[in-house]
Amino acid sequence: MLLTIITVCYNDCANLVKTLKSIEQNFELSDGQIEIVIIDGNSTDQTEKYAFDFKDNLLRQDLKVHFFSEPDKGIYDAMNKGIQKANGSWCLYLNAGDIFCDKIVADDKWFNDQYDIVYGDVVYSYNGRYKYVRSRSEEELSFLNGMEFCHQSCFIKTDYLKRSQYSLTYRIAGDFNYFVEAYCKGANFHYIGVPISVFEMTGISSTNAGIVNDENSEVLYRHGLIKRSKYIVCKTKAKIQILIRRIVPNKIISIRHDSIMDKATTNWATSIRECIKKNRGRCN
């Protein structure tokens, strides 16, 4: 088994189906080299039924599906459970609602043993508009300005994951902490320059900038990438953002966010394929 795609979900059967369909339609790997591990947080909706309906269909296409359901301590706990169930040499996280951006034909060169983390590009999505975003190459990585590639566009060697799992300390920045820690410990990153996943600009990390900035600064300081003076400034700004977010009614926050994003996405492509065709090989 070469690749395990780990999908985490909880009471989100519609988005789980969306993700499973994307795997079925858009990822190509030779005979029996791919498996899907679904980690469910003991959902009370139709998640299990939909998962098993898809399981039989995908098995006919030589895509093995494993479904596990039990209570967990949050998304990063569920992601760690997925690691323990993985049989592939490499893992990729594609959680409920996440999709591949186009037909992905995996190249064996991506999964070279000398690499620990292999990552590609991402397509940002907002209300039916799309933007191709190139990740930083391995030589350019610093993480000083946050994530420099998308988690869902990242293949991680399973042995490496089992040795260094996700911290449960953070609400949003568990993945950022994981990659910063790997970077500081000398993990071998490799950039492949291929669009892999679509990132929806409507999730918690996109609408809670204060929490993101607060946790990211904590991670950078803890790993020695920023000095205490910079850390204090970042934390202060983040706390102000969090306070404003708490005081201002959600409706106003939502209207403001939609207004900003509508203006920012005016020139984005109207389909994923158009976006990739137009921007592949260009730096945004």
d(CA 99, CA 93) in angstroms, rounded, equals 10
CA distances from residue 267 to 11, 93, 125, 272 in whole angstroms, order as listed: 35, 30, 12, 14
pTM (whole model) above 0.75: yes
Tell me if 280 sits within 8 A of 274, measured CB to CB.
no
* pLDDT tens-digit profile, the chain (284 residues): 789 999 999 999 999 999 998 988 888 876 678 899 999 999 999 898 888 888 777 766 677 889 999 999 999 999 999 999 999 999 999 999 899 988 888 888 899 999 999 999 999 999 899 999 999 999 999 999 999 999 999 999 999 999 999 999 999 999 999 999 999 999 999 999 999 999 988 766 566 889 999 999 999 999 999 999 999 999 999 999 999 888 989 888 888 888 989 999 999 999 998 998 887 644 34
Collect all residues with Cβ–Cβ distance below 8 Å to 55 and sequence separation of at least 6.
Answer: 65, 67
What's the N-to-C CA distance of the chain in angstroms? 35
